[in-house]
Structure 1
Amino acid sequence: MTAMRNDEDDGEPFLIARGGPFFDAQKRIGLVAGDKLRPARRALVLIAVTWGIPLLLTLVAGTAFGELDTRPYLLDPGVWARSFLAIGMLIIAEGQIEDRLRLCVDQFFNIPVLAAGSLKSARTALSEAKRSRDSAGAEIVCLLVSIATSSLVLHNMDGQTDSSWALTIVGGSKSLSPAGWWSILVSNTMFWFLLTRAVWRHIIWGNLLARFARLDLRLVATHPDKHGGVGFVGGYPNAYVTFTVATSCVLAATIAHQVLHETFTVTSFGAVMGLWLVVVFIFFGVPLTSFAIALSELKTRTLQAASRQATEFQRSVERSTLGSNVAANGDHSRPEQEIADPTKLYEAIGKLSPLILNRSTLLPVTVVALLPLIAVGLTQLPFKDLLPIVKRLLVL
């Protein structure tokens, strides 16, 4: 069968990392060229702006190095997590996410999962998803959220009681250093903008899956993927491994700050890791639940059809063996003819799972979500105390 097109009239596939004012700005200054995202170059440039410039400013001020209690720039875990690791990884993750989601959309059209009568509606959904992706208004909202977050950080600086590379306290008077101003206004804002922009585009993806799930789909209950033929959608969280590491590093840095100045108990650390995994499950799991209703209905209807067939087949066998049916003899709802045995079919239908979300689906992102937190935990807690917590969380 010739593969059906998965694009619209404009001939463009679904590329989640493209479009929008921020992407267009990167094209204008040469960070993006043609169809090449150039993630390494873009990551290095943004890291130079968000982490490198404050580093130069602290080197000039003499606050880049020093003892831990003086809180120098290069010993601040939050700086490394947000301005260096997270920003770089969020940029690199864009291409990984885009490639996996594009292949996922391709499969809906090329298998094809979508019935012929649903193709027009599916392309309409794709068109609207692209418009949402390209929305200037959405990115303005992301920017405003980022600015509000930086304003909150600036406000919270008033509560600081110790001097650091970002804040100087002399005789009760507090003043931000040039590096502190840059980190809050530029570095922190850039991190939150990239994060909220990525979350918005994930919402676009989830909405696209929900719209596909409501279309007429060519599902089959006995499909070997045990999800009616749409099991391939369940692999999409693997594209977010780098994204998950980036966000986990920021959370781990926050915990590290507490660890450096307070005592973290095994119970509290386990609670933080458990809560973080719940957030990860919800983030990736909600889009995968879109197909649960369609798959549940498919399973119910197919089981009913197979059960009717099984009843007729077994009654036919009973008549041929005993000469008549023991119950309701003479009541033949189907004419005498050869009836196929649906036993194996019935057993296969019973294995269909309406939930594409499962532990194996989320295992890669679960593991990487915990790794940065485990690294921080090992600085404060014995390995023998931390290991049982990790094991329990991974087998949930």
Structure 2
Amino acid sequence: MRSDLTLVTRRAVFFSLLAWLPLLVLSTIEGAALGQVVTIPFLYDFPVSVRLLIALPLLILAERVIDARTMESVRHFARSGLVEEKNFREFRSMVRQTLRMRDSFLAEGIMVAVVIFGTAFLRLELSGSSSTWQILVFPSGATRTMAGWWHVFVSLPIFQFLMVRWLWRYLIWCWLLWRISRLDLQLIPTHPDRAAGLGFLGVAQAKFGILVLAFSSLLSSHWGAEILLRGVSLYDYKMMILGYVVLVLFVLLAPLLVFSSRLFEVKRRGLLEYGALANRYTWTFDRKWIRGEAPEGEALIGSADIQSLADLGNSFQIIQEMRPVPIDLWTTIVPMAAFTVAPFLPLALTVFPFDEIVKKIIGILL
């Protein structure tokens, strides 16, 4: 397992440097890495560096984390008894088909073709009124720099391929969840996770927040560049940030809604069944201990009856607290929100000085 992690880490570092380091070298050779030769030097183009040094390796490292958690969740369906033995064949067929689609060379070939098409037909047009590290503008026309060509034909395609690949893998995961939700799952209303035994799915879904961290970092770098280089205020983006957070949470949480109808039904049935059981038991308890029908010499204190009554009450309370979706505030929503918002926090320094933030935090703590 450690060797797999090391391999993925090396792959992330390799592709990140392959995409970014030649840009630095070529732009330095052309005199466009720093200085006044061009309007936007390479090292001032923050979004590019964030995309290739942070977002790109995160997209690669996420594969190790997300695949491990999602496959563990799939195995848990069988190990926990959620999928009955009579449905094992259908369940395994679903999983095998999903893995074939996920690892399909044909699918990845189509992705490569889409990326190449986008590069060849959508990004070769030169535009801009001032010179940058990618494009030099002259009175006679514009020409792309060596760093610009590397960015168009190597750096961007690598990043775009990873994005398209993750979109495909996420759609496959959503499709698998939908198919599993159609099975006759053995959901228990009194399960302590308050989700009839499906609470583990919320934890697994939260791992996709690593992808959001990559995209949020990229978006934050774009807005940060606008703030630092063009004087735009962070307040101009507050509604966009809020809308982005809401959209991300919806996209990540929506796949779990496929279990809602089943959970509603399990809760409804559980309340009825355990309500009927509670009626019978409390009626018997009342006759025995309140109406004086207990056997002579038997004491209430220490009797198993009182403990059973408490256990029944706890079970009924768990059913009442069942969630309509396998989503928990602390194990699902909070991690997702943290991954989404964290890259935007440095932008707050453009509005509030760092020392002022520290003083306020100290004041709150003390």
Which residue in 1 is equivalent to 2:112? Answer: 143
Aligned equivalents of 2:220, 2:314: Cα separation in 1: 50
Q: 2:342 aligns with which of 371, 380, 383?
A: 371
1:287 maps to a residue whose letter is P
CA RMSD of aligned residues (A): 3.0
| Secondary structure of the corresponding residue to residue 34 of structure 2 | coil
Counterpart in 2 of 1:90? 59
Q: Aligned pair 1:131/2:95, yes or no?
A: no
Q: For residue 352 of structure 1, what is the aligned residue in structure 2?
A: 322
Residues 286 and 124 of structure 1: is their aligned pair in 2 closer, same or farther, counting only changes over 3 Å?
Answer: same
- Residue type of the partner of 2:112? L
Give the secondary-structure state (helix, strand or coil) at the position aligned to 2:81: coil
Distance, in Å, in 2 between the alignment partners of 1:63 and 1:262 is: 20
Match of 1:77 in 2: 46
C-alpha distance in structure 1 between counterparts of 2:153 and 2:144, whole Å: 12
* Counterpart Cα distance in 2 of 1:367 and 1:152: 37
Q: Percent identity between the aligned chains?
A: 27
Q: 2:130 corresponds to which residue?
A: 162
1:247 shift after superposition? 1.4
- 2:199 aligns with 231
Q: What's the counterpart of residue 15 of structure 1?
A: none
Q: Residue by residue, what CA displacement relative to the aligned partner does 1:160-212 show, whole Å, maximum 9, x if unpaired?
A: 22211001011161111111121022211111110110121111112112222
Structure 1: where are the runs of 5+ without partners?
1-32, 324-337, 388-396
- The match for 2:71 is 102
1:1-396 maps to which residues of 2 (within 5 A)?
Answer: 38-67=7-36, 70-150=39-119, 154=123, 157-158=126-127, 160-171=128-139, 173-313=141-281, 342-360=312-330, 361-379=332-350, 381-382=351-352
More helix per residue: 1 or 2?
A: 2
TM-score (norm 2): 0.82
1:317 Cα deviation from its structure 2 partner: 6.3
TM-score, length basis structure 1: 0.76
User: Structure 2 CA distance, aligned partners of 1:237 and 1:156?
Assistant: 40
Is contact 1:68–1:75 with CA below 8 Å preserved after alignment? no
User: What is the rounded CA distance, in whole Å, between the counterparts of 2:285 and 2:335 in structure 1?
Assistant: 49
SS at 2:137 equivalent: strand
Question: Aligned letter for 2:18?
Answer: V
Q: How far apart in 2 are the matches of 1:241 and 1:116?
A: 33
Q: SS of the residue aligned with 1:168?
A: strand
SS in 1 for 2:143: strand
Paired residues in the alignment total 337
- For 1:375 and 1:315, locate their aligned partners in 2 and report how far apart those are by CA, in whole Å: 62
Residues 219-267 of structure 1, C-alpha deviations (whole Å, 9 max, x = no match): 1111111111111111113433432222111111221232234343454
For 1:36 and 1:343, the matched residues in 2 are separated by 47
- Indicate how the Cα distance of structure 1 residues 279 and 260 shifts in structure 2: closer, same or farther if over 3 A, else same: same
